[in-house]
Homo-oligomer: A and B are copies of this chain.
């Protein structure tokens, strides 16, 4: 298992168990935006003896301590192992493309909020929903043809 993670787990006072190692591996292998069913499937494949409750509990605990990022996408929880480079996502609600934004850009916003309100935002893994460049153009086209319908 990722030695960085192992260290963080110990630091936080949690124990390292085979189940937890395996679950974290499964989340890592399931890639970004892993849904519970993806994770469950991989865990079962590795060892069918692990109880579902343990998977849920592990994700919950590690999520609460930012060892795993938890986000909600399209109504479903999605998980990602927290790496060392902080980043965020720009997700298109039309084509579901997903681009990363480095933390630096988000940080300017964080600083701005800090200066204006004194609030220290700690966004570990933002999901910014919106429209990618391509889908914005598509939307514009739709808008134009809609207006043409009104006066032919």
Which A residues have a C-beta under 8 Å from some C-beta of B?
60, 63-64, 72, 75, 90, 92-93, 99, 101, 105-106, 108-109, 112-113, 116-123, 128-133, 136
Contact = CB atoms under 8 A, between A and B. Distances in A.
Contact of A136 (B113, B120, B130, B132): B120
In the assembly, how many copies of this chain are there? 2
A130 B129 CA distance: 20
Contacts of A108: 109, 112
A90 B119 contact: yes
Nearest to A124: B129
A146 to B, nearest CB: 14
A120 to B, nearest CB: 5
A101 to B, nearest CB: 7
A122 B93 contact: yes
A92 B128 CA distance: 20
A41 B130 CA distance: 34
A131 B119 contact: yes
A116 B105 contact: yes
A119 B129 CA distance: 9
A105 B112 contact: yes
A41 to B, nearest CB: 23
A88 to B, nearest CB: 10
